[in-house]
Amino acid sequence: MNAPIRRLAMLAALLFATLLISSTWIQFVDAKAINALPANRRTDLTNFNRERGAILVAGDPIASSRPVKDELKWLRVYSQGTRYPHITGFYSFTVPPDRGLEYADNALLSGSSDKLFYRRISDLFTGREPAGASLELTINPKAQAAADEALGNQRGAVVALDPRTGAVLALVSHPAYDPNVLAMHTSEAVGKAWDALLADPGKPLINRAIAGNLYPPGSTFKLITAAAALETAKYTKDSVLPGPAQLTLPGVTEPLANHDHQACGADDKTTLDHALVISCNTAFADLGMTLGADALRTQAAKFGFGEALRIPLPVTASTIPATLNEPQTAQSAIGQYEVRATPMQMAMVSAAIANEGILMQPYLVERVVSSDLTIIEKADHKQLSEAISPETAQTLTTMMVDVVTSGTGTPAQIPGVSVAGKTGTAQHGVGAAPHAWFTAFAPADDPKVAVAVVVEDGGDAGSEAGGGTVAGPIAKAVMEAVING
Amino acid sequence: MSAITSLRPRRGRNVELLLLLFAVGIVVLAYVSVEAAVHDAVPAGLLTQAGGLLAIAIAFHLVLRFRVSYADPLLLPIATLLNGLGLVMIHRIELARPETSATAGMAMRQLTWSTLAVVMAVVVLLWLRDHRMLRRYTYLTGAAGLALLLLPRAPWIGREINGAQIWIGIGPFSFQPGEVAKLMLAIFFAGYLVQTRDALSIAGRKILGVTMPRGRDLGPILLMWLLSLAVLASQKDLGSALLFFGLFVAMLYVATERTSWIAIGLILAAAGAYAAFHVFTHVQERVTLWLHPFSAEAKAISTQLATGLMGMASGGMLGNGLGQGRPDLTPWAESDFIVASFGEELGLIGLVAILMLYVLLVERGFRTAIGVRDGFGKLLAAGLSFSIALQCFVVVGGVTRVIPLTGLTMPFLSQGGSSLLANWTLIALLLRISDQARQPIIEDATTGSLQAVVR
């Protein structure tokens, strides 16, 4: 019987060899993939058990980890409550922390980023507790506070940029929420809070400033139409445009009308400058048809339309339809039809005009600092495109200053400071009050801040001034906060 | 004749003692590192505990030294090390759970059962002076094994735990008789096959160059097949069915030296598996879990395999360290998934070391089977050894996705009293058989010279 016993012994060895291979597969070959699985509680716990880096605004933590005596060891605390939720996001064990910087820069905050590799090696040898890196933001706390307070109970969003660098100075979306309720370690309470946020008709979880439902930009888009015209070199600010009370579009029975149903000037004629100052729909619709859809689309793309940015939060790409017939082109030229833009996009338009035509890449994180205070990353100012020529930028600036001094944008005037701006009143659906828009920069001669404001359903359907009266003061408050320091 | 040489037989008892000290040392070290990781302190009663463990091991060693002095010197240290490591892991998992959990006190119970099992093994060794005594009870052990297998189905005392009805319970005590049945059936198979092997191996006719058995000789294998299917059907216990049938076929092959039995066994097993897959939903669920452990439909059935795999993955190459992983997140981390717990905390390196201990144990068992001279002893030693190998394969293979997961315990490591009793008794039997295998026989009574038969 010895021969079959030997063979059976071989079989047993073979069975064990299989087990050695399968264990090696799981613990060595496939381990990284398994550790990265979304529902892997062990990985979550490892991340939670490490001190997470803070998120800082002007040196003060708006998100930080506090040691607690429970399984998760660290509690994430958002010291400013509802002021920064759409920037920070939340770090929750119960619901997926899938938004904000907590998500976008998770690898840095948790310390698992490859950029922290050397630091982790030295942790291993020195026995130091591993910790994540901190993010120092570009946010100006006064601008953020001004935007938050000025927007108040209204739904909408505010974005403020430094036009020279692209640094995001304020980013507010209303309604807001308190991320602390989601960061708690009591999963039942967090679950309830989460369900309530999801069910809230105001949709507070949406970041209206950079994502959300994408608003029609309305008359603020006229800046892009005007830029396209000036870039052809066939137009100056004094070029004469047709400006009737209403414009019959080819193949469409309903004529395109001005808000006040008045002509924009004597003899149904106006200039480019005046058309922008009073936000004349017919003049810009006609201009749009003359320039053509391609010119509008090209100019919009130079300002950043069609590009999904990461600041590092994901910014939804603003869009202009790929195919437009003549009446659609006319509607698009005044920011209606299916043109959609984020407040971030419209702030970038003002910023590019302010920065002599050069569009800078917006960014939110100035510096990444490891827990031993070495700087791991420093933001570099990146040029996104040359949106318009310096001359066009100069002309547009003059026109935008006129809007604020004598046009629809007067509510945004700041004493002693020259402000350049443009109002917007965006129709969205029959019977709904239009969204009120305002985008501006100041000081016009030495721009320090560019801003875009949208207030949902805030405009007055009958008056283009709605954008100015509702959104204008908010823009003003933010710009003042930046300029006055 | 020069073939007859005088040499002093090597008993290996000193090697055994050294290895035993080594085994106890590793277990104590593991225990200290768990306590250091969890409580930041060396356990208060360490000396007493380590001393107690050492005393039990030494006592067993002394029994072998004076009563079973030719026994294989590796078996006891390996069993001690595995049992001890299992104890440490169970203690470690208990520490991670709240004191109110249903498993509270399991480490203490496991320690008690370990002691009882060792005592049981010593008693078996002292009582069973020759393993051939067991042949007398061939049919009695067969009947007892069968009864134990079917006991969980009996009304009043059968209990369904974790989806499988493989437990019996009397009052607060629950017992998994499958492990003891494994032992009894191995004894029965050995006794039965050594009697019938001639009929099963010689008669038959050639088909395609392979000698196939006569139709009437197919009776036993078909009966065993049906019994395994009955276990599977009635107790939802895939693992035991596989183990019993595999054990029988292996022993049949050893007894008859006929490859055709393996072919027949594989065909029957495949047919049984195919039928089971189509008839039983729980088998289909196991297959789904096996193929797609992280999928949504698998999640709806059970997350055990997925969390076990995540545990092993988090351990990686070197492991998180004893007391520093989270094996408690996996359901049944102390029994079915104790291997995954070791993988998580000791890493791939630790898990490979543990698997190699089993390889050594199993191959020493086969070595015993080759060395022993009587057919019953050969069959029994080979069967017992193969049962450990097969059981490890079914358990670890299930945890590491080689085969669908089934509910069996890992010998010596897993929590459970019946498993410890059965496996320590198994070790006692192997020790007894190996004592005969390694004992020198008197080749020639007139010269009185000894010949070592140990190769």
Tell me, what CATH number does A241's domain have? 3.40.710.10
Q: Which residues pair with A172 in a beta bridge?
A: A158
DSSP A20-40: HHHHHIIIIISHHHHHT-TT-
Q: Using one digit for the tens of pLDDT, what is the confidence trace for A425-479?
A: 888 777 778 889 999 998 999 999 999 999 988 765 555 557 788 888 999 999 9
Sign of torsion over alpha carbons B276, B282, B286, B288:
positive
Contacts of A19 in chain B (CB under 8 A): 355, 392-393, 396-397, 400, 402
Q: Helices A2-24 and B375-399: crossing angle, nearest 10°?
A: 10
The pLDDT, as a whole number, for residue B156 is 63
Q: What is the mean pLDDT of residues B256-269?
A: 87
The pLDDT, as a whole number, for residue B201 is 72
Residue at A168 is within a domain? no
- Residue A179 contacts residue A78 (beta carbons within 8 Å): yes
**What would you report as the CA-atom Rg of chain A, rounded to the nearest whole angstrom?**
27
The residue in chain A having the minimum alpha-carbon distance to the alpha carbon of residue B398 is A19
Residue at A22 is within a domain? no
The CA distance from B292 to B401, in Å, is: 10
Distances (CA, A) of B107 to B39, B51, B415: 17, 18, 8
The pLDDT, as a whole number, for residue B170 is 59
Residue at A175 is within a domain? no
Chain centroid, CA B147 distance in Å: 20
- Give the pLDDT band of residue B11 (cuts 50, 70, 90): confident
CB contact under 8 A, B366 and A8: yes
The CA distance from B7 to B222, in Å, is: 49
Distances (CA, A) of B298 to B156, B288, B293, B302: 33, 6, 6, 6
Active site residue A219: yes
CB contact under 8 A, A15 and B370: no
The pLDDT, as a whole number, for residue B454 is 44
The pLDDT, as a whole number, for residue A113 is 76
The CA distance from B392 to A16, in Å, is: 8
The residue in chain A having the minimum alpha-carbon distance to the alpha carbon of residue B395 is A19
The pLDDT, as a whole number, for residue B38 is 87
Contacts of A20 in chain B (CB under 8 A): 352, 355
CB contact under 8 A, B253 and A13: no
Residue at A190 is within a domain? no
For residue B157, count CB atoms less than 10 angstroms from its CB and return exposed for 0-12, middle for 13-18, buried for 19 or more. Answer: middle
Which backbone phi and psi does A461 adopt, to 5 degrees? -55, -30
Contacts of B379 in chain A (CB under 8 A): 1
CB contact under 8 A, B254 and A42: no
Of A3, A6, A22, the CB nearest to B400: A22
Of A15, A28, A30, the CB nearest to B389: A15
Task: Give the number of other CB atoms < 10 A from CB of residue A318.
Answer: 27
To test the contact with chain B by mutation, choose from A8, A24, A27 the residue with the greatest count of B C-beta atoms within 10 A, namely: A27
Residue at A391 is within a domain? yes
Sign of torsion over alpha carbons B309, B311, B313, B317:
negative
Name the residue with tokens 């049919």.
Answer: B139
Of A3, A16, A34, the CB nearest to B310: A34
- Residue A340 contacts residue A318 (beta carbons within 8 Å): yes
- Nearest chain B Cα distance for residue A72, angstroms: 13
Of B307, B312, B402, the CB nearest to A19: B402
H-run or E-run covering B269 = helix B259-279
The CA distance from A19 to A14, in Å, is: 9
CB contact under 8 A, A16 and B355: yes
- Nearest chain B Cα distance for residue A91, angstroms: 21
CB contact under 8 A, A23 and B352: yes
- Give the pLDDT band of residue B3 (cuts 50, 70, 90): low
Task: Report cis status (omega within 30 of 0) of the bond before B177.
Answer: no
The residue in chain A having the minimum alpha-carbon distance to the alpha carbon of residue B252 is A4
Residue at A170 is within a domain? no
Contacts of B394 in chain A (CB under 8 A): none
The pLDDT, as a whole number, for residue B455 is 41
Instruction: Give strand ranges (E) for A20-138.
Output: 55-57, 60-67, 74-77, 134-137
H-run or E-run covering A102 = helix A100-104
Of A27, A39, A45, the CB nearest to B313: A27
Q: Using one digit for the tens of pLDDT, what is the confidence trace for B118-174?
A: 999 999 999 999 999 999 998 899 889 888 887 777 666 666 665 555 666 655 566
The CA distance from B398 to B409, in Å, is: 11
Contacts of B305 in chain A (CB under 8 A): none
- Residue B178 contacts residue B407 (beta carbons within 8 Å): no
CB contact under 8 A, A41 and B309: no
Residue at A335 is within a domain? yes
Range of the domain at A279: 218-365+381-483
The pLDDT, as a whole number, for residue A36 is 82
Q: Under the phi-then-psi rule, with left for phi > 0, alpha for psi from -120 to 50, and beta for the rest, what region is A379? A: beta
The residue in chain A having the minimum alpha-carbon distance to the alpha carbon of residue B360 is A13
The CA distance from A429 to B248, in Å, is: 78
CB contact under 8 A, B255 and A1: yes
* Residues 6+ away with beta carbon under 8 Å from B188: B138, B139, B141, B142, B145
- Give the pLDDT band of residue B225 (cuts 50, 70, 90): confident
CB contact under 8 A, B307 and A41: yes
Intervals of chain A under pLDDT 70 = 119-120, 123-124, 126-130, 459-465
The pLDDT, as a whole number, for residue B165 is 57
The pLDDT, as a whole number, for residue B452 is 47
Task: Report cis status (omega within 30 of 0) of the bond before A217.
Answer: no
Domain total in chain A: 1
Residue at A248 is within a domain? yes
The amino acid sitting at B33 is S
Q: What is the mean pLDDT of residues B211-227?
A: 75
Catalytic residue among A113, A219, A350, A370: A219
User: Which residue from A154, A242, A182, A168 is spatially nearest to A210, judged by alpha carbons?
Assistant: A168
pLDDT at residue B1 greater than cutoff 50? no
CB contact under 8 A, A40 and B310: yes
- Nearest chain B Cα distance for residue A5, angstroms: 6
